[in-house]
Amino acid sequence: MRIGIISIQHESNTFVQTPTTLADFRQDVLARGEEVRQVFQDSTHELGGFFVGLAEAGLEAVPVFAARAVPGGLVTKETLEQLVSTMLEQLDAVEPLDGLLVAPHGAAVCESVRDMDGYWLELLRHRIGKSLPMVCTLDAHANVSQRMIDSCDSTIVYRTNPHLDQHDRGLEAAKLITRMVHGSIRPTQAACFTPVVINLERQHTETEPCRSLYVEADHMLKHEGVLNNSVVLGFPYADVNEMGTSFIVTTDNNPALALELAQQLGDTFLARREQFIAKLVGIEESLDQATQLTGPVCLLDMGDNIGGGSSADGTQILHSLQRRGGPTCFACLFDPEAAQQALAAGVSGRVVALAMGGKLDNRLGPPLVADVRVVSIHDGKFTEGEVRHGGKTNYDMGPTVVVETDFGLSLMLNSRRTPPFSLKQLTSCDIDPSRYQLLVAKGVQAPLAAYSPVCPNAIRVNTPGPTCADMEQLAYKYRRRPLFPFEQEITCG
């Protein structure tokens, strides 16, 4: 039995001005054939789970194609065409297969095809035919379409945010397709697409209001005939018709039961929708609170959420700290230009004036102009050995320089946009987090897995930007109407 493995993953923020190109995939992952195994086999990513699960079942894993880019703007038409062309060429080279394990993200948007993941999954289904088993995993921030559901036999979604169960979901998918190819089950799935979008500020799965959704979903797994189910939180920064929260249930050859149970999960959520309205804390209020708490306090810069596609050079919180003259704080900024200028100054002890950040998106604030001293210089490469959001092990921030200001702010200037999913981002550059009252992490929920071990307190900060928590500030064009909480009166069905 030979099971193919294919993945194209991108979380597309349609409010980001810079498009995502093939170069962005090359910078992260663009792997063919056995290269896929080399990248993912030993990772905590779901593809790592695919490889382990198939090996345990005695099935041959056949890596076909994998592409991944850091979240960003719309994928260009040419990029999608190249990705799909390469995927199909690689598939031709390895056939025949007995099944496919596929791993889209679920929130990819192309400038020519807004339901990008549904598009390439449908292409695959047409290519392999109706009878070949195909099991799909999705990120919990997917905006699920009916086309995605129709293309796959079963869809398995991460159950944690921060995403710490990716490998487990990959194992689950491998076990399911093993049962399919041996003929012991015949999966049938259905989805309930609710007219509600959950703000990312409310999407922490270990606490309420999300926790109860997963408790009910876990209880439903005991129902006879249920193979799996999923709570799909949704991604509010992809302006598409499918944007919103959905629920998926897979049964063993019982489509009516799958639909009934998916609707049951949806109805429970709709009755509680008011609990998912965001609680927003502004910059000044967050700083006032943080100075009264035991540090380090993690300030989650929601408007510059790198994992949601933002540019990573937001300065709004930093300007407030400069005006206040403290407290002590550490933050990272993506600014290759400032990094090069600091690199040229070297660790000489002399003071240099730098304009840092604020160069890519005027919504994120102007450059922070300050006199700094270069503390250390690094190649920016580090390895994360623990299970962390995103399932990534090896990171490369590019040439990286740590600088200090005279008002208590230390900055890491990165040459590559790097999400704050690992505390090794700091410690690999000899940063001791305990030295600071504040640590700024450009995210919402994802950084918690990395920062919680050193930060007894965290505050989600409503900063402006393409990932701002105040979704009313975003100009949606394609979303459903009515859609809660934008419209209070909603219709279901």
Q: Concatenate the DSSP letters of all residues of 198-227 into one string.
A: --GGG--TTSTTHHHHHHHHHHHTTSTTEE
* Residue 2, SS3 per DSSP: strand
The residue length of the chain stands at 493
| Angle in degrees, CA 49, 117, 4, rounded to 5 | 40
pLDDT of residue 490: 87
- In the chain, which stretches have pLDDT less than 70? 492-493
Start-to-end Cα distance in the chain: 41
Residue 406 phi/psi, 5° resolution?
-95, 5
Contact 154, 179 (CB under 8 A): no
The amino acid present at 120, given as its one-letter code, is: W
Strand partners, 136: 102, 155
* Residue 442, SS3 per DSSP: coil
Task: Residue 138: name the closest of 172, 181, 99 by CA.
Answer: 172
| Strand bridging mode 154-157 / 134-138 | parallel
pLDDT of residue 492: 62
d(CA 155, CA 125): 14
d(CA 188, CA 108): 25
d(CA 30, CA 80): 13
pLDDT of residue 475: 96
pTM for this entry: 0.96
The amino acid present at 125, given as its one-letter code, is: R
Residue 338 phi/psi, 5° resolution?
-65, -35
Burial of 98 per CB tally in 10 Å (0-12, 13-18, 19+): middle
Burial of 130 per CB tally in 10 Å (0-12, 13-18, 19+): exposed
Longest dimension (CA), the chain: 72
Radius of gyration of the chain (CA): 22
d(CA 115, CA 151): 13
| Angle in degrees, CA 175, 84, 248, rounded to 5 | 40
- Block residue for tokens 């449908």: 122
Dihedral (CA of 416, 418, 423, 426) sign? positive
DSSP conformation class of 298: E
Contact 123, 105 (CB under 8 A): no
| Angle between helix 210-220 and helix 255-271 axes, rounded to 10 deg | 160
d(CA 418, CA 396): 8
pLDDT of residue 349: 85
Judged by phi (left if over 0) then psi (alpha if -120 to 50, else beta), residue 183 lies in left
pLDDT of residue 491: 73
Cβ neighbours for 237, distance < 8 A, ≥ 6 positions apart: 13, 14, 15, 308, 309, 466, 467, 474
The neighbour count for residue 472, using CB atoms within 10 Å, is: 8
pLDDT of residue 36: 98
Write the pLDDT tens digit of every residue in 83-92. 999 999 999 9
Contact 153, 227 (CB under 8 A): no
Sheet with 187-193, edge to edge strand ranges: 187-193, 246-252, 226-232
Write the pLDDT tens digit of every residue in 43-80. 999 999 999 999 999 999 999 999 999 999 999 999 99
